[in-house]
Amino acid sequence: MRQVYLDARHYHELASADPPRRDPLLGFNNSLEALIPSALKKQPVVFEPGSVLMVDRAAQLANELQLDPLMVASGQEWRRPDLVAATGARLIVPVNFPELPKMPSDEDWDQVSLDQMRAWDWAPENPAVLRSNRLNIALTSFGLEDRGSFRKNLRKAIDRGLSEADALAALTTLPAAWSGLSGQLGTIAPGKLANLTIVKGSYFEPDAELDSV
Sequential DSSP letters for 34-55: HHHHHHTTSS-EEE--SSHHHH
Answer whether residue 197 is part of any domain. no
Read off the pLDDT of residues 127-158 as tens digits, 9 standing for 90 and up.
Answer: 999 999 999 999 999 999 998 899 999 999 99
Q: Are residues 60 and 132 in the same domain?
A: yes
Angle, vertex CA 94, rays to CA 37 and CA 178, nearest 5: 30
Q: Are residues 6 and 37 in the same domain?
A: yes
pLDDT category, 26, cuts 50, 70, 90?
low
pLDDT category, 21, cuts 50, 70, 90?
confident
* The pLDDT of residue 108 is above 80: no
The mean of the pLDDT values for the chain is 91
Q: Are residues 62 and 160 in the same domain?
A: yes
Q: Are residues 71 and 1 in the same domain?
A: no
* The pLDDT of residue 88 is above 90: yes
Answer whether residue 97 is part of any domain. yes
Q: Are residues 117 and 35 in the same domain?
A: no
Read off the pLDDT of residues 175-208 as tens digits, 9 standing for 90 and up.
Answer: 999 999 999 999 999 999 988 999 999 999 999 9
Q: Are residues 31 and 48 in the same domain?
A: no
CA dihedral angle for residue 43, residue 48, residue 49, residue 50, rounded to 10 degrees: 170
Q: Are residues 66 and 26 in the same domain?
A: no
Q: Are residues 34 and 50 in the same domain?
A: no
Q: Are residues 36 and 137 in the same domain?
A: no
Average pLDDT over residues 33-55: 94
Answer whether residue 201 is part of any domain. no
Query: pTM here?
Result: 0.87
Task: Please tell me which residue, 142 or 102, carries the higher pLDDT value.
Answer: 142
Put the strands of the sheet holding 69-72 in their side by side order. Answer: 45-47, 69-72, 91-94, 137-140
Q: Are residues 177 and 154 in the same domain?
A: yes
Answer whether residue 173 is part of any domain. yes
Question: How do 69-72 and 45-47 pair as beta strands?
Answer: parallel
pLDDT on residue 25: 63
Beta carbons of 95 and 153 less than 8 angstroms apart: yes
Beta carbons of 22 and 28 less than 8 angstroms apart: yes
Answer whether residue 160 is part of any domain. yes
Domain that holds residue 59: 44-103+113-187
Q: Are residues 49 and 117 in the same domain?
A: yes
The number of distinct structural domains making up the chain is 2
The percentage of residues in the chain with a pLDDT greater than 90, rounded to a whole number, is: 72
Beta carbons of 34 and 11 less than 8 angstroms apart: no
CATH number of the CATH domain containing 80: 3.20.20.140
Tell whether omega for the bond before 94 is within 30 degrees of 0, i.e. cis: no
Q: What distances in angstroms separate CA 134 from CA 87, 128, 196, one per listed residue?
A: 11, 10, 28
Answer whether residue 55 is part of any domain. yes
* The pLDDT of residue 18 is above 80: no
SS3 77: helix
Answer whether residue 82 is part of any domain. yes
Answer whether residue 127 is part of any domain. yes
Of 17-31, 47-61, 70-84, the poorest mean pLDDT is in 17-31
Beta carbons of 73 and 91 less than 8 angstroms apart: yes
pLDDT on residue 13: 87
- List the end-to-end C-alpha distance of the chain, in Å, as a whole number: 39
pLDDT on residue 112: 75
pLDDT category, 173, cuts 50, 70, 90?
very high
Q: Are residues 119 and 156 in the same domain?
A: yes
